[in-house]
Amino acid sequence: MTRSRLSHTLSLVCAIAMPTLAHADAPPQSLYHVYIGAMFNSTDSTRANVDYGRGFTGAVGIPLIIPNLYLEIGGSQQTLVTPAALNSNFFRQDLTGSLMYAFGNRDELTPYVLAGVGAARNDTILLDETSLTAHIGVGLTHALGDFVRARLEVKEVYDSFDDTDLFETSVSAGIEIPLGRTKEVEIVRTVIEPARIIERPVEVVKEVEVVKEVVKEVIKEVAPVDSDFDNIADANDKCPGTLPNVRTDNSGCAIAQSVALQNIEFDLNKSTLKPDSLVFIEQAVSFFKQQGNLRAVVAGHTDDIGKDATNLKLSQARANTVVKALVDSGLSAARFKALGLGETMPAVANLDNESRARNRRVEFLLSTSDAN
């Protein structure tokens, strides 16, 4: 009979576990747990004078490296109820260690199996003894909330009390509390769509042009216009078109002075005007036409490279080139005199290529006269 009951228990374990193994979900992270339950024992006929057992059981589960595998350290306190004729019940306490394996997520309806060994103390009328005990069993757990599970367990228990092989079936039910659990927080990912750019090139250009016109009108109203930047408003300027850096009187007309023409440039050792200089020549022609009382000595200068006589000749040639350009544009030759000064009057010290380029220049020595 003993072997028959053990065989039935093993069959029950396999019947519950195998279908679940085939459909088990990926196991969650294992947690420690504490189990507390009430138990009922159906004793084997080999345990004489005992009708049934009842009591309390408990265990602490420790997760192992293998997922869903636990080491349970537990124990129980049982009262073995005897016939009334004995006038005294028997008592049994045990302390066991078990391996427990759960088939899936224990927060759902999850079966498990367990097996273990330990020591049992039996206290009877005739004998008080500590003996070897072992068990194998199956069970189910299911979550009742975030922090508690229901647990139902059936075990076949072996006890070697009084050198006898005793077997009994133990059924227990209780609650299991997982330790170290935290609530899962759902991470919400917000996807921000790229902003759509609405292209309105035509409208933008029109708006910019309108703004420009408005700005021009505001400038006209706020500040008087000074087209030649001689600090005399156009409305009061009797001599518009004054050349840059030329000083004027209160009417906007040039006074006698020396003006360096930085925009008139020549190549090294040449007296031919560069194309970029022709624009300034045109400005100078307009300037002299506006102010017919001005005369000018056009002074040519060179840097310090070369012989003095050669530089003097070159500076004269450059002055002649500028005067010819002015006269060819319709101005009177009597108003201009070309003068070559060579390297005798540098604007800056001849230290490098940049400073020497500044010294290769032409200046207007302006004077006022009634001559045309």
Picking from 90-99, 250-259, 304-313, which range would have the lowest pLDDT averaged per residue? 250-259
Q: Give the domain range for residue 175.
A: 2-179
- What are 208-217's pLDDT values in tens digits? 777 777 777 7
User: Which helix (DSSP H) or strand (DSSP E) does residue 116 occupy?
Assistant: strand 110-123
> Do residue 46 and residue 153 come from a single domain?
yes
pLDDT of 43 reads 77
Collapse the DSSP code of 21 into the 3-class scheme (helix H, G, I; strand E, B; otherwise coil) and give the result.
helix
* C-alpha–C-alpha distance, residues 159 and 162, integer Å: 9
* CA count, 13 A, side-chain hemisphere, 342: 12
pLDDT digits (tens, 9 = 90+) for 146-181: 789 999 999 999 988 888 888 889 999 999 998 876
Q: Residue 115: pLDDT above 90?
A: yes
Alpha carbon distance 5, 79 (integer Å): 22
Count of Cβ atoms closer than 10 Å to residue 179 Cβ: 11
Q: Do 46 and 161 belong together in one domain?
A: yes
Token readout for 65 is 């490296």
CATH code for the domain of 91: 2.40.160.20
User: Is residue 61 classed exposed, middle or buried when 0-12, 13-18 and 19+ CB atoms within 10 A define those classes?
Assistant: buried
Q: Which of 147, 164, 179 is the last residue of a domain?
A: 179
Tell me the pLDDT tens digit for each residue of 308-354: 889 899 989 988 989 998 899 899 999 989 999 988 989 889 899 88
Same structural domain, 99 and 168: yes
β-strand partners of 172? 39, 153
142 & 238 share domain? no
Q: Is residue 69 part of a domain?
A: yes
Same domain, 150 and 247: no
**Domain total in the chain:** 2
Of all residues in the chain, the percent with pLDDT exceeding 70 is 79
Domain for residue 219, yes or no?
no
Taking each helix axis as running N to C, give the angle between helix 308-328 and helix 277-290, from 0 to 180 degrees, rounded to the nearest 10.
60
Q: In which element (H, E) is residue 75 found?
A: strand 69-81
pTM: 0.43
d(CA 151, CA 74): 15
Task: Specify if 152 maps to a domain.
Answer: yes
Question: Residue 184 is encoded by which pair of tokens?
Answer: 């899962």
- Mean pLDDT, residues 260-285: 78
